[in-house]
Amino acid sequence: MKVINKISDMQRIACEVHSQGKTIAVVPTMGYLHEGHLSLVRIARDLADIVVTTIFVNPKQFAPNEDFERYPRDFERDKSLLESVNSDYLFYPEINEIYPTGYSTFIQMQGITKIFEGESRPTHFDGVALVVLKLFNITKADVAVFGQKDFQQTLVIKQLVKDLNIDIKIVVAPIVREANGLAMSSRNRYLSDKERENASIIFIALEEAKRAIASGERRRKIINSIIISTLRSVPEIKIDYVHTVKAHNLELADEFLPGEEIVMLIACWMGRTRLIDNSTTKIPINEFH
């Protein structure tokens, strides 16, 4: 695996790959990789001839009160992990390579960027959209692989691609979980052993709600209340938001229709660590009422 630090080098390599009739898949990450990230690289490996993994902790998607400075970083560990899953290139730029002196272009998105995660982190998705667009242009990828854990983010990126006519295919890969059901995240390293154990209630809450849905529950408020009451069984959990919405556009509905795909979204705090998770399911076709 080759490590590339300069945009010009990455673009030159991408042009050479395409000139050979080969395709490129990109896996954008912020590093401190875990099995969830590695699963994305393995999927990318099956989708294109060349895989480029990017590591860049993007300052534009962190608010001033967030954890940019303490966000976990371990380049040598990440490099070794990426070599183990056969990433062809690691694009690892410095901040001033991506945002040089005088940088003055930004992206502002509306709609789904302003609700839920966007309400809790108002500048977050504009920063995500900006860096993702830059990484698409730098790697000249034909396909990009993202994880479902950041569900709202995947919809934002799909909207970005659609609105700006970007010639790239977006693939969303399933959530990879720890043994206790906790969604894998680089931020999990902030959790103490006890907090990690307690955080398993998030997955339990999602599963409780899915069981109710499978038994015929279609009312949004009832589904949300099942999740909330389950989360509250662990006093250390502080809920940021719980929403059950239509999966394709995050639309609210008082009652969901048979056959409709929905997503249950959770954001909460465990101590100083903010955790997000989600689960998708379809409303049963059979009538139970």
> What amino acid positions are annotated as catalytic residues?
37
3-state SS assignment for residue 145: strand
Residue with tokens 């209340």: 225
Which residues of 57-123 form beta strands (DSSP E)?
89-91
Nearest to 123 by CA among 141, 136, 140, 109: 109
Q: Give the pair of three-digit tokens for residue 29.
A: 């990450």
Buried b (16+ CB within 10 A) or exposed e, 34-65: bebbbbbbbbbbebbebbbbbbbbbebbbeee
The residues, ordered by sequence, that sit 6+ positions from 5 with a Cβ below 8 Å of its Cβ are: 91, 92, 93, 94, 97
Sign of CA dihedral 283, 231, 248, 48: negative
* Count of CB atoms situated within 10 Å of the CB of 138: 23
Give alpha helix (H) positions in 48-150.
75-84, 95-98, 117-120, 124-139
181 burial level (CB within 10 Å; 0-12, 13-18, 19+): middle
Q: By the 8 A CB rule, do 267 and 240 touch?
A: yes
Q: By the 8 A CB rule, do 220 and 253 touch?
A: yes
Q: By the 8 A CB rule, do 287 and 258 touch?
A: yes
